[in-house]
Amino acid sequence: MKNILLPTDFSENAWNAARYAIELFKNENCTFYALNTYTPHIAHSRFMATNVGNGTEEDAAKTVSEKGLTALISRMNTEFNNPKHKFIAISSFSMLVDEIKEAVDDYKIDLVITGTKGSSGVDEVFMGSNTVRIIKTVKRCPVLAVPQNFKFKTPDEIAFATDFNRFYTQSELQPLLDMASTFNAVIRIVHVQHKITALTELQKFNLSMLRKYLKTAEHYVHTVSELNSISKTLEVFSEELDIHLLAMLHYQHSYLESITRESVVKRIAFHTQIPLLVIPELGMSGSAKSKKEQSVYVSE
């Protein structure tokens, strides 16, 4: 049984991510936790309910949140009607990222799936401020970011972008192996070279260990020259090989960190054209439980 967390603000962008999640795991027994947070006294974000009605502002926000979750789960049950899937709503008076971190621990979440939507702000061109915060903060399980207009495609071609500079562990690579096993997918290990140089002894060793860990999956190694930026290179690579899912490890000096630090001009084209699976570095601790109001219920 997989436990999947779906943060939602009831937008079409969030619905697209939920729909992708349900399609992705249509053949597996899953519990989907639909999460909406509300903080009426704090400037709203796209994941927070802000409408007000009769009663206190907090009560009104809570009502909007719970009604929205009930409607969302009803829609998922109606459109997909999958007996393998169970839906649980979490309405919480909390900040989004804080609540996601706690939910990952409390409900033993295997994967967080969120929609991406870049804002007009310069710093959020990459894929949206909330998505970036989630990826940077959630350290206990992978995060799958789904582009706002991406239509589901079975991920039978998965790109794993890495530079071989870091030692890999079996546990860190397990989410990638699970995806490959579930969809009988080919893993395309892609190494972006800034300039043509031979691999160092360390890189050779890490590559050999990586291939050892991936021995149960069909995989190939691709070394490509950088085109203007890492993000542009990965975009072109994904298009040419019809990649349906891009995976990266998230650690200091990783490709993902490099992309988030690229100039806006360089990374604007890499607007997460395909779903991005971000696998966190192991050994990071979760957050302590905070006191807040939370409503968790099953909606039939």
Is residue 179 located within the same domain as residue 67? Answer: no
Query: For position 1, what pLDDT does the model report?
Result: 85
Inter-residue contact 145 to 131 (CB < 8 Å): yes
pLDDT band at 139 (very low <50, low <70, confident <90, very high): confident
Q: In which domain, by residue range, is 172 found?
A: 157-274
Adjacent-strand bridge partners of 48: 37
pLDDT band at 257 (very low <50, low <70, confident <90, very high): low
- The C-alpha atoms of residue 261 and residue 29 are separated, in whole angstroms, by 38
Report the predicted TM-score, pTM, of the whole model to 2 decimal places. Answer: 0.84
Say if 222 falls within a structural domain.
yes
Is residue 226 located within the same domain as residue 175? Answer: yes
Give the DSSP per-residue string, 137-185. H--SS-EEEEETTPPP----EEEEE--S-S---HHHHHHHHHHHHHHTP
Is residue 93 located within the same domain as residue 204? Answer: no
Is residue 137 located within the same domain as residue 262? Answer: no
Query: For position 24, what pLDDT does the model report?
Result: 97
Say if 279 falls within a structural domain.
no
Question: What dihedral do alpha carbons 100, 106, 112, 115 form, nearest 10°?
Answer: -40
Split into its structural domains, the chain has a count of: 2
**Could you tell me where the beta strands, DSSP code E, fall in the chain?**
2-7, 30-37, 85-92, 111-116, 143-147, 157-161, 186-193, 219-225, 245-250, 276-280, 294-298
Return the structure tokens found at 24.
């992705």
Query: For position 152, what pLDDT does the model report?
Result: 94
Query: For position 166, what pLDDT does the model report?
Result: 86
In terms of DSSP bridges, do strands 85-92 and 276-280 run parallel, antiparallel, or are they unpaired?
unpaired
Is residue 250 located within the same domain as residue 175? Answer: yes
Query: For position 110, what pLDDT does the model report?
Result: 96
Is residue 168 located within the same domain as residue 269? Answer: yes
Is residue 161 located within the same domain as residue 144? Answer: no
Say if 71 falls within a structural domain.
yes
Query: For position 84, what pLDDT does the model report?
Result: 97
Is residue 111 located within the same domain as residue 210? Answer: no
Is residue 59 located within the same domain as residue 170? Answer: no
Length of the chain in residues, anyone?
300
Is residue 97 located within the same domain as residue 187? Answer: no
Is residue 133 located within the same domain as residue 168? Answer: no
Query: For position 235, what pLDDT does the model report?
Result: 85
Is residue 205 located within the same domain as residue 251? Answer: yes
